[in-house]
Amino acid sequence: MIQVEHLTRNFEYYTKATGLKGSVKNLFHREKLIKEAVKDVSFCVEKGEIIGLLGPNGAGKTTTLKMLSGILFPSSGSARVDGFIPWERKDEFKRKFSIVMGQKNQLWWDLPACDSFYLNKCIFDISDGEYRRTISELSELLDVKDLLNVQVRRLSLGERMKMEILAALIHRPEILFLDEPTIGLDLISQQKIREFLRSYREEHHTTIILTSHYMKDIEELCPRTVIINHGQVVYDGGLLEMNRVMGDKKRLTIKTSAPIDPSCLAPFGTVCSLNGCQATLEIARNNLTQVSSRLLSLLPVEDFTVTDIPIEESVALFYQNR
Amino acid sequence: MNKYRCIFQMGLEYALEYRFDFLFSMISCIFPIIIQFFLWSAIYLQPGASIDNGYTYEQMILYTLTAGFVSKLVIGGFEYEINEDIKNGGLNKYLIRPVHYMRYYFFSFLGKKVPSAVILLSAVAITTGVAGIALKTAISPVHILFFLVSLVLALILNFCLMFCIAMYSFWVTDVSKLFGTISIVLVVLSGGVFPMDLFGNVVRTVSHILPFCYTTQFPTDILTGRLSQNAIVSGIAIQLLWIVLLVFIGSLLWKKGLKRFISAGG
């Protein structure tokens, strides 16, 4: 459904030194610098699949989505979305997808959301009956029935985001790009949007690319994750398998009755923390039984827990590395 | 076509949403006219004045009033929105929808014009009526028809002109100051303040080639009865020619500019 190959996008920019001196200097000469926002990104998404696109701020997620929706031309590389080259901007292609940008407003600010919906209906040539069905179904699901006639600028962020999503779905796109749809929302609103996306997808089998900084969004919705850092793909696979890729480790926490001597722990694995009677070790999964039994016999262990490395930490490693 | 009708209607709704803004924009157009009225009165009515510029005092006042209303009617305003779209990435929402950006703004521009057009056209009608009685000149229905045709074309022409200028935003990030400057120059060049004929033959000839005076002075001259039928027909032809040319230039700039669009923010 979506094929991305060696996609690259550079931006020109210039810097300004702090203060007036820098400003005056910039009046006469601006040194052009090039930032590679996206470099050599490749991945594929199957029809009906939902993937999470993760990466730290400035990693190139939004730029990638903007290229996939034809807003930006790439500097090089190619992409096909349902057979179309996005930046050719064919009308037929535009009817197939939608993009929701958490940080950008696509509704007409000074008019109620229903006016924006109606304009979308006209632009996408949707019949009255289908339009009415869609609005009543989705506004019910998103719980915004009473807000349809309120000026968009008077809505709260959460309400507005629901409207943005609704507006994006009026033409029933087969492909949906969601760029941080839960940004800045409270826990309940985030939960609501996740639930909505899940049930909507189950019913309509929409192909979705979702970006978010909330691991919960990705964990709950996306079986597969692509992580981008510094414009490059650094991981492509399931969120749960990430640990295996990162060295397949387990985390072992022990509590003893007497203070632990640091030197006796070192041979077993990496010591993450040691605080008097409590210590945390990171050890390879296949050593687990062996290490545990030796530790138990060696030290006066009172409490003993084994956990997986939290997903956030694995992801953070990908963010820092490379 | 349905979608552009809807865009037109939304422009109209938009204009009606902010009533006071609308009211003040109407009031604001009266002040320059009043200033000019006193200015021309002072020039023409001073003792011993003999002014030979092709306009009598009454004709000049009639011109000032009519041109003031016409220039307010054809004026743009959407160029700031286009600049915003390009500067802050609001353009995204048009790029991802099956809608033509220039046509979108054109129909939205027309829709937003409706309320002010109703008021300004009434003002023009009253002015013309009063002038007809006071100066004992009668305007023929044919001229009224010609005036309306040329006014519609003037509106389209001015839209195309401002659209081309707005495309400059692709190359320079913030051009709102430039728009301010340009709009003042354009009002003068278009004959919105005083007729361009006042500056002699050379200026008149040049202004008849350039598109600007066809946005204000030309329709005004038709209504005040200064033009022969031949001049009217050839003027309308020039309006059409400029529209075609500017639509072409506008689309070219749009295509070139889009390659530079960076969709900043978020």
Residue A321: per-residue pLDDT: 67
Residue B262: per-residue pLDDT: 76
Q: What is the pLDDT of residues A52-73, one digit of tens each?
A: 998 888 888 889 999 999 998 8
Please give the CATH number for the structural domain made up of A2-242: 3.40.50.300
Of A83-87, A131-135, A315-319, B83-87, the one with minimum mean pLDDT is: A315-319
Rounded distance between C-alpha atoms, residue B75 and residue B158, angstroms: 7
Residues 99-128 of A with CB under 8 A from B: 99, 101-106, 108, 110-111, 115, 118-120, 122-125
Q: What is the pLDDT of residues B12-67, one digit of tens each?
A: 988 887 788 888 888 888 888 899 999 999 989 888 777 778 888 888 999 999 99
User: Other CB atoms closer than 10 Å to residue A249's CB: what's the count?
Assistant: 20
Residue B212: per-residue pLDDT: 94
Q: What percent of chain A has pLDDT over 70?
A: 99
Rounded distance between C-alpha atoms, residue A200 and residue B13, angstroms: 33
Contact A90, A84 (CB under 8 A): yes
Rounded distance between C-alpha atoms, residue A210 and residue A218, angstroms: 8
Domain with residues A247-320, CATH architecture: 2-Layer Sandwich (3.30)
- Is the per-residue pLDDT at A271 higher than 80? yes
ipTM of the complex: 0.79
Give chain A's mean pLDDT.
88
User: Other CB atoms closer than 10 Å to residue A40's CB: what's the count?
Assistant: 14
Query: Who among A11, A104, A122 is closest to B89 (CB)?
Result: A104
Contact B139, B132 (CB under 8 A): yes
Nearest residue of B to residue A65 by CA position? B266
Q: Which residues of A164-190 are buried (b: 16+ CB within 10 A; e: fewer)?
A: bbbbbbbbebbbbbbbbbbbebeeebb
- Is the per-residue pLDDT at B266 higher than 70? no
Burial level of A304, CB count in 10 A (0-12/13-18/19+)?
Answer: middle
Contact A9, A38 (CB under 8 A): yes
How far are the Cα atoms of A217, B52, B165, B197 from residue B217, in angstroms, in the given order? Answer: 61, 20, 21, 10
Q: What is the pLDDT of residues A154-186, one digit of tens each?
A: 999 989 999 999 999 999 999 999 999 998 888
Q: Pick the closest to residue A111 from B164, B18, B250 (CA basis).
A: B18
Rounded distance between C-alpha atoms, residue A156 and residue A150, angstroms: 11
Are the beta carbons of B266 and A111 separated by less than 8 Å? no
Listed by start position, the domains of chain A span: 2-242, 247-320
Helix (H) or strand (E) holding A288: helix A288-298
Tokens of B80: 């700031």
Q: Which residues from chain B sit within 8 angstroms of residue A122, using beta carbons?
A: 2-3, 5-7
